[in-house]
Amino acid sequence: MSANRILVLEDDESIATDIQQRLEKLGYAVCEVVHSGETLLARVETLRPDLVIMSMSIQTDLAQHESTRHLLDQLQIPVLYSTMHADPIALQSLTHEKPFCYVRTPLDDQDLHRAVAMALYRHQAEAKLRKMERWLAATLNSVGDAVLATDVEGRVTYLNPSAEVLTGWTSLEATDRPVSEIFKTMRADAHTPVESPVMKVIQGGVVLQLAEGTLLQRKDGTTIPIDDSAAPIRDEKEQIIGVVIIFRDVSIHRRFEQQLREAQKLDSVGQLAGGIAHDFNNLLTVINGSCSMLLMSMASDDPQKAKVEMIKEAGDRAAALTYQLLAFSRRQILVPKILNLNDVVASMVRLLGELIGEDIELLTVLEPTTAYVKVDSGQIEQVIMNLAVNSRDAMPCGGKLTITTKNLEIHGQETRADHDGIDCPSVMLAVSDTGEGMDGDTQKHIYEPFFTTKVVGKGTGLGLSMIYGIVRQSGGRIACSSEIGKGTTFRVYFPRVMQDGAEPTPLPTHTEAVGGSETVLVVEDENLVRKLVRTILESHGYFVLDAQGGEGAFDVCRSHMGPIHVLVTDVVMPRMKGNEVADLLQSIYPEMKVLYMSGYMADSIDHLEVVGTGIQFLPKPFSPLDLVNKVRELLDSHPAVI
């Protein structure tokens, strides 16, 4: 290890020589001896010694003191004073300012060695402390949370940059001010002041946290919700010397919590709505199907025909309501396709113009290169149409309706909060109006089933709940912004997909019932639905077997000696689901076709995946024509073995 390099300032040459010789004897390297303060400053900047030994004259103390300050502050070099005097006041003024040290002449080797070692040690300790302070300052400045520190009297000593942003005070402005002036908090519910935690922490020596629902009042008077904790700062003797408060803006967190609560509430309502719709669809299948069969058997002049038609019309209206409930609860059977939203909007412009009327201006702002999405085109048309109708109703005296499409890119520096919670490349469809708008309380309930702001008899309250369900079931997200008197905008986001070729050609359809003579097995746990399906198929020539569930289906198969050409089964049944029945029966009848009936989609079958594989569904309620033609189309798609 190389010897420490020392520069000596001494105007007396004999003393300078004595100091140099003693230092070299002690193992130090004297890099130079100078005789004036001006020469010292110039040589120090060039030589950069580890220590300066400087002669101090009581008469020139002030000038020498300022020189040492320059050395210490600018060059970070320690100074050791040599003096022939023992003035206690002069020496005390130096020794109180670390790392200044002194040694008296005439010199003693032991005293000189001790003084040099102490000066170098103090300098190294101070350097380490300064490095630690810089590291600590850099760390605190980099912390995402806001950090505020006080002394034991509750006066601010430090604000990191995050604290400056949240409070609106700079660290320079806040330093030495009472913490209650910089860190003002109040209750969110009553806007009454909250006592500063600083004094409680100092008195109790414990960590404290603010109650939930606390607001921070910033310098400009605005408020933000915060979470925080306050902890005592202790010295090496465990004495409390101040308090550190760590706090953060929880606006985004609270907003996401609220969104989560709303989503959970809507999901719970959706589960209830889906269950109700499932039961209703089974009933409506029987009611509407029986009415259709009865009407087909009645003469055109039958006096009872009008009554049956009224029942059928009421059943159709009830089916439309359950359809909306299923859309809200996300249990529809969707047939998603890759498409461009611009094409959907363009195809609807004329219809929308007629729908909203001449007193409302319809504008479309479509991004020319809008990316592709995978959605059910019919459902998206329903979304656009319902939003347009809502906008029309919000502009009774006319206005402007604007439909916009836009690609949305998400970059690393952007947050979910910047884009309504969207965190992946998406395509946005926005419908905006210049209508009456909604207040904040109304916006909290707009997606709830049967909630409506329209007068009695002017709406079911299912339009927006249906839109919500369609969008969420399609993997998208919907957001609303509105203000009283300034209109409303609904923004719908769908994930972008790559265009991967044409969609498969659908099976041919028939406008009239086409029967057959093949064997059909009907598996349905609802007795009335099962009897209706059997009656419809038998009336069109099919040989029909039926069973109440999967176990009954196997009993039927064991007693039936011939082939089974088509299995018509419900999706959701107790003990054994429809797809489980189909899988087991197809191991016995490999050529057997399968037609699923469903009042709603449950977790037993991933409908998106199933539709993509070409498996066929018949949604409830269905008409006799729908059932017969679906069976015929399925049989005609591949020759059956008879």
What counts of helices (H) and strands (E) characterise the chain? 20, 25
pLDDT of 566? 93
Residue 135's identity, in one-letter code, is W
Query: Within this chain, do residues 32 and 112 fall inside the same structural domain, yes or no?
Result: yes
Same-domain pairing of 369 and 434: yes
Q: Give residue-wise pLDDT tens across range 133-157.
A: 777 766 666 666 888 888 988 898 8
Residue 64 DSSP code: H
Question: Are both 240 and 265 inside the same structural domain?
Answer: no
pLDDT bucket at 421, cuts 50 / 70 / 90:
low
Determine if the pTM surpasses 0.75: no
Percent of the chain scoring above 90 in pLDDT = 10
Rg (CA), the chain: 42
Count of the separate structural domains present in the chain? 5
Q: What is the pLDDT of residues 75-92, one digit of tens each?
A: 788 888 777 655 555 555
Give the structural domain span for 381.
337-495
Q: Is the pLDDT of residue 402 over 70?
A: yes
The pLDDT assigned to 441 comes to 79
CA distances from 443 to 267, 432, 479, 507 (A): 17, 15, 10, 43
CA distances from 119 to 80, 98, 324, 465 (A): 7, 9, 85, 78
What is the structure's pLDDT at 449?
59
Tokens of 305: 């025909």
Tokens at 257, concatenated: 């919590």
The three-class DSSP label of residue 534 is helix
| Residues 228 and 282 grouped into a single domain | no
Statement: residue 603 has pLDDT above 60 = no
The pLDDT of residue 614 is: 57
573 pLDDT above the threshold of 60? yes
- pLDDT given for residue 202 in this prediction: 82
pLDDT for the residue numbered 605: 43
Same domain, 186 and 300: no
Judge whether residue 346 has pLDDT over 60: yes
Instruction: Return the pLDDT at 262.
Output: 63
Domain boundary, last residue among 93, 119, 139: 139
The whole-number average pLDDT for the span 490-506 is 70
Instruction: Count other Cβ atoms within 10 Å, centred on residue 505.
Output: 6
Per-residue pLDDT reduced to its tens digit, 36-69: 777 777 788 788 888 888 877 633 444 555 666 6
Residue 316: φ, ψ to 5°: -65, -40
Note the pLDDT tens digit of each residue in 558-572: 888 889 999 999 888
Long-range contacts of 476-483 (CB under 8 A, 24+ apart): 476/375, 476/426, 477/420, 477/421, 477/422, 478/447, 479/420, 479/421, 480/438, 480/443, 480/446, 482/437, 482/438, 482/443, 483/437, 483/438
The answer to whether residues 201 and 315 belong to one domain is no
> 98 pLDDT band (50/70/90 cuts)?
very low
Q: Is residue 642 part of a domain?
A: no
Q: What is the sign of the dihedral through the CA atoms of 250, 256, 257 and 262? A: positive
Residue 96 is predicted with a pLDDT of 47
| CATH number of the domain to which 468 belongs | 3.30.565.10
Give the lowest-confidence range in 197-206, 349-358, 459-468, 631-640. Answer: 459-468
Residues 221 and 267 placed together within one structural domain of the fold? no
Kindly report the backbone phi and psi dihedral angles of residue 319, in degrees, each rounded to the nearest multiple of 5, phi listed first.
-65, -35
Q: Are residues 452 and 353 in the same domain?
A: yes
Residue 95 has pLDDT above 70, yes or no: no
CA atoms within 13 A on the CB side of 581: 33
Residues 6 or more apart from 520 whose CB is under 8 A from it? 537, 542, 543, 544, 545, 564, 565, 566, 567, 568, 631
pLDDT at 373 over 60: yes
Which of residues 204, 232, 249 is at a domain's end?
A: 249
Q: Do 229 and 350 have their domain in common? A: no
b (16+ CB within 10 A) / e for 111-136:
ebbebbeebbebbeeeeeeeeeeeee
Do 151 and 100 lie in one domain? The reply is no
The answer to whether residue 414 is domain-embedded is: yes
Across residues 583-589, what is the average pLDDT?
89
pLDDT for 621-637, tens place per residue? 888 888 998 899 888 87
**What pLDDT does 454 receive?**
54
Which residue in this structure is represented by tokens 């499932």? 278
Q: What is the pLDDT of residues 276-325, one digit of tens each?
A: 666 777 888 888 888 888 888 888 888 888 888 888 888 877 776 666 55
Q: What is the Cα–Cα distance from 150 to 133, expressed in whole angstroms?
A: 17
Does the pLDDT value for residue 534 go beyond 90? yes
The answer on 567 and 487 residing in a single domain is no
Residue 537 lies in a domain: yes
* Within a domain: 509: no
Q: Which of 376, 411, 437 is nearest to 601 (CA)?
A: 376
Q: Tell me, what CATH number does 204's domain have?
A: 3.30.450.20
Tell me: pLDDT of 487 over 50.
yes
Q: Is the pLDDT of residue 5 over 80?
A: yes
Are the beta carbons of 198 and 245 closer than 8 angstroms? yes
**Cα 498 to Cα 500: distance, rounded to the nearest angstrom:** 6
Range in 20-34, 229-243, 272-286, 477-491 the model is least confident about = 272-286
Residue 510 belongs to some domain of the structure: no
* Residue at a domain's end among 139, 160, 180: 139
Same domain, 161 and 295: no
CATH label of the domain that carries residue 91: 3.40.50.2300
